[in-house]
């Protein structure tokens, strides 16, 4: 496997979220010159998220800016979002799923997007549904304009669900001629500037205007179930993770 497609799940597991990972300042000081992603070249956009919130954290600003141009943008969330913490009762899991869907819909409204489609696949088990997901995405892309962009989590992002979504999207785009863009989320946590397991030569950065950037920050703050759970559990996206994502901005592999 090439660095572009190899799994980085072991590397992600070796860097616990609570330990902080690579600081945002390290990415800022690196000074890598990313090529700009030209949003006005987008004929249509399908954003694919493993869980409710990834669509905002990884590509929400770009989606908002593209939609503001009058371009068709649709979001699909693969999992039910109920597996954020182990050991949840059936009632707790259902409550979390409903909460995360509400958050995702609210965030979409703040970005000027239509409500997402939710596939309801098992959170934590997307690799088992990878073939089915690829078929669903193929059907969605086949009905869209030629050259439609499909933005999905990177196949090497480290989280198994993220990598499974990236692989499924890669299959779907190869079948339909859509353009695959892979956005990292957890890579910024476990990787280091200049990391040889990251295909930096294929990266492009989204240059957000102030309006889209502000909308993204507001939309990301909606996901209280992940940022500040009210049941005493540790947040899935603690403050340092959210701050780092806002700092590094939106980058895609092409």
* pLDDT tens digits, 149-201: 999 999 999 999 999 999 999 999 999 999 999 999 999 999 999 999 999 99
Cα–Cα dist 224/17, whole Å: 17
The pLDDT value recorded for residue 61 is: 98
Residue 2, pLDDT above cutoff 90: no
**Where does the pLDDT of residue 252 fall: very low under 50, low under 70, confident under 90, or very high at 90 and above?**
very high
| Residue 30, in any domain of the structure | no
Cβ atoms within 10 Å, residue 13: 12
Question: What is the rounded distance in angstroms from the CA atom of residue 246 to the CA atom of residue 52?
Answer: 17
The reply to whether 88 falls in a domain is yes
Residue 231 lies in a domain: yes
Q: What is the mean pLDDT of residues 80-89?
A: 93
Q: Residue 160 sits in which domain range? A: 9-13+36-253
Residue 18 lies in a domain: no
Residue 19 lies in a domain: no
pLDDT confidence of residue 156: 98
Flag whether 109 is in a domain: yes
Expressed in angstroms, the distance from the first to the final Cα of the chain is 17
Kindly report the CATH number assigned to the domain that includes residue 41. 3.40.50.10320
Reading the block at residue 176, the tokens are: 């339909």
Are 228 and 235 spatial neighbours (Cβ–Cβ below 8 Å)? yes
Among 47, 155, 149, which residue's Cα sits nearest to residue 107? Answer: 47
Q: How confident is the model at residue 230 (pLDDT cuts 50, 70, 90)?
A: confident
Do 104 and 96 meet the contact criterion of CB atoms below 8 Å apart?
Answer: no
Element (H, E) at 102: helix 90-110
Q: Establish if 219 belongs to a structural domain.
A: yes
Cα–Cα–Cα angle for 92, 94, 96, rounded to 5 degrees: 70
Q: How confident is the model at residue 231 (pLDDT cuts 50, 70, 90)?
A: confident
- Give the number of domains in the chain: 1
Q: What is the pLDDT of residues 127-150, one digit of tens each?
A: 999 999 999 999 999 989 889 999
Whole-model pTM above 0.85? yes
pLDDT at 6: 87
Would 29 be classed as within a structural domain? no
Percentage with pLDDT > 70 across the chain: 98
| Confidence (pLDDT) at 1 | 36
Average pLDDT, rounded, for the chain: 96
**Residue 173 dihedral angles phi and psi, to the nearest 5°:** -70, -35
Mean pLDDT to the nearest integer, 77-85: 95
C-alpha to C-alpha distance for 198 and 195, rounded to whole angstroms: 6
* pLDDT single digits (tens) 11-43: 999 999 999 999 999 999 999 999 999 999 999
Report d(CA 17, CA 52) in Å as an integer.
Answer: 19
């Amino acid at each position: 496997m090439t660095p572009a497609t190899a799994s980085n799940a072991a590397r992600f597991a070796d860097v616990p979220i609570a330990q902080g990972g690579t600081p945002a300042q390290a990415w800022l000081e690196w000074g890598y010159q990313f090529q700009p992603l030209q949003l006005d070249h987008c004929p249509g956009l399908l954003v694919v998220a493993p869980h409710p919130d990834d669509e905002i954290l990884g590509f929400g600003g770009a989606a908002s800016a593209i939609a503001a141009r009058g371009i068709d943008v649709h979001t699909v969330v693969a999992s039910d979002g109920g597996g954020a913490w182990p050991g949840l009762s059936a009632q707790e899991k259902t409550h979390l799923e409903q909460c995360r869907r509400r958050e995702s819909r609210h965030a979409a409204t703040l970005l000027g997007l239509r409500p997402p489609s939710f596939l309801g696949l098992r959170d934590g088990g997307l690799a088992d549904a990878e073939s089915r997901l690829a078929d669903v995405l193929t059907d969605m892309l086949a009905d869209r304009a030629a050259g439609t962009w499909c933005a999905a989590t990177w196949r090497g992002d480290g989280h198994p669900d993220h990598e499974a979504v990236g692989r499924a999207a890669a299959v779907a785009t190869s079948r339909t001629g859509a353009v695959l863009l892979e956005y990292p989320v957890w890579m910024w946590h476990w990787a280091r500037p200049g990391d040889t397991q990251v295909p930096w030569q294929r990266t492009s950065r989204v240059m957000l205007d102030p309006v889209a950037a502000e909308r993204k920050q507001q939309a990301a703050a909606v996901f209280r179930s992940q940022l500040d759970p009210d049941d005493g559990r540790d947040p899935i996206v603690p403050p340092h993770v959210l701050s780092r994502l806002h700092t590094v901005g939106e980058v895609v592999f092409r």
